[in-house]
Amino acid sequence: MPINQNALSKAASHKLADAYKSGDPDAIEQAWSGFYEAMSADLADQFEQAQRSNDSVVLAQRGFRQLTGDETTYYQHIIDALKSPNPVQAFASIPDTAMPQTVIDDVLKNLTETHPLLAAINLTSTGYLTRWILNDNTKQQAAWGNLTDAITKEITSAFKVVDIKQGKLTAFACIERGMLDLGPVFLDGYVRSCLGEALANGLEYGAVLGKGAAGEPVGLARDIHEGVDINSTNGYPLKTAVAVTDLTPASYGALVAPLCKNEKGVNKSLDIRNGGSLALICNNSDYLVKVMPATTLATNDGRYVGDLFPVPTQVLISNALEDGQAILALLDEYGMFVGGTRGIEFSDDFKFLDDQRAFKIVEYAAGIAYDNTSAELLDISKLDPAYVTVQVKGTVTTKASA
């Protein structure tokens, strides 16, 4: 389970998310500085309180794990290196600098529990994955014939191979030297919290708006149709946003229909009536001001029923999106691959305070959708609230008859 954050840590996390959204390196560095200060103080206080109880159950309830032998050894090497007079040389002498895969698996598990968007996409822990093989949904038709006839057609499934160039996601963290005395369990909790926030903010932005350049994943909002021009700096262009003014059955059906065929015009093998992985992604403000009023109706007994769509749809929040932006997507057609970590490294990128040591956590990830029909970018800035439509048969001539 993830470690619960106090109010200050949560506020610092929100500032970090806003910094990632801005894309400003200085703002991100500043936000990280505030985040690690709030997080280290928060976690140290929680850990010391739990430790005083001398109860492993209390530690576990607060999110601090019982470590495996490999994890304990790894973190002890890191602690010894951070304490040493020459951290760079000490880090270089660590026998195995790769972070145990069990740590990454636990971080990803926590992410899917606390971030519904990341749970809905195919978030997969991998090694240094370079290619993704997927079914292309191309129809193959069998040939009818007598039982004794020779086989006249070979039935094969069409596959598409997508090359994946993994990008690097780096989180910087500082820790007071005195906190290193709290041991491997505390350092594990601190590292998982820092890495979790870095991945949560970085992966969510990447899955939604990532440019596909400069190491970023390719986001759902990007135009990836076959033959699209890809800029070396700005990556894939944004899709052309579809203006949405209402979510009535006719309008919503027209929005969902393009997702049901691939780029070759072949119907996908899904039953859209059950919704499946169909999701509408927007930010918190737009959900409250636009989406919620457009999908909420009052019942005869005075109750409100919300998130009503003509086709079953899950609403997911991502504050990476700007006001007025939304994405309609089949999320099981998006793959996000996380793996190939370099683990913890000592960083010389900061001027150190006397009682602090900085380290960085480097993780590799990549993400892309099946094809351009996996998602649509929507403009919901003029989305109207839902109304109960009454059809009158005949002619209304007076207010009383109306």
pLDDT (tens digit per residue) in 127-153: 655 454 455 544 444 444 444 444 444
pLDDT band at 293 (very low <50, low <70, confident <90, very high): very high
Q: Angle CA(282)–CA(276)–CA(104) in degrees, nearest 5? A: 70
> Is the Cβ–Cβ distance between 100 and 222 less than 8 Å?
no
Query: Per-residue pLDDT tens for 17-49?
Result: 777 777 777 887 788 778 878 888 888 888 888
Question: Span 224-251, mean pLDDT?
Answer: 92
Identity (one letter) of the amino acid at 370?
Y
d(CA 77, CA 323): 46
Q: What is the pTM of this model?
A: 0.75
- Specify the CATH number of the domain 242-333+374-379: 3.30.2320
> Is the Cβ–Cβ distance between 281 and 121 less than 8 Å?
no
The CB density around residue 25, as the number of other CB atoms within 10 Å, is: 9
d(CA 212, CA 84): 40
pLDDT band at 308 (very low <50, low <70, confident <90, very high): very high
* Total residue count of the chain as it appears in this document: 402
Distances (CA, A) of 10 to 3, 390, 393: 11, 47, 56
Distances (CA, A) of 131 to 164, 330, 355, 368: 5, 21, 44, 11
Q: What would the two tokens of residue 150 be?
A: 């020779």
**What pLDDT is attached to residue 157?**
42
> Is the Cβ–Cβ distance between 20 and 202 less than 8 Å?
yes
The CB density around residue 88, as the number of other CB atoms within 10 Å, is: 13
The alpha helices in 62-149, defined as continuous H runs, are 69-83, 87-92, 101-114, 116-120
* Higher per-residue confidence, 115 vs 329: 329
**What pLDDT is attached to residue 143?**
45
Most confident of 146-155, 194-203, 353-362: 194-203
* Higher per-residue confidence, 101 vs 316: 316
* Position 290 pLDDT exceeds 90: yes
Q: List the chain domain ranges.
A: 7-138+159-218+336-369, 242-333+374-379
